[in-house]
Amino acid sequence: MDGAIAWHLIDRHADNWNEAGEMMNAWLRANTPDLGPVIAWLENGCDPKEAAKELRIHQQRTRHNAPGNGPRQAQLAEGPR
């Protein structure tokens, strides 16, 4: 689910701004890629372009397998062709 949809759902269901903030932070944590592998590759002398390529591959796999993210959402995430 993208941020705009998350915000509309949170805005509708949160009882106050504190609750809205907690829900948005939870959504952000759930939708932030794990940069640990990229940092490890860079620390071990990997070419930054290669690390970025590997991260994109990882993101495509995890986005496609995430609940609610079917092939169409993965296609949209790739942007225009």
The residue range of the domain holding 27 is: 1-32
User: Are 47 and 78 within one domain?
Assistant: yes
How many domains, in total, are found in the chain?
2
| Residue 9: partners with Cβ closer than 8 Å, 6 or more residues away | 1
User: Are 47 and 81 within one domain?
Assistant: yes
User: Using N-to-C axis directions, what is the helix angle for 48-65 and 71-78, rounded to 10°?
Assistant: 150
The pTM score is 0.45
**Tens digits of residue pLDDT in 30-61:** 888 777 877 887 788 878 787 778 778 877 77
User: Are 41 and 70 within one domain?
Assistant: yes
User: Are 28 and 65 within one domain?
Assistant: no
User: Are 25 and 51 within one domain?
Assistant: no
Predicted pLDDT of residue 64:
52
User: Are 28 and 41 within one domain?
Assistant: no
User: Are 39 and 22 within one domain?
Assistant: no
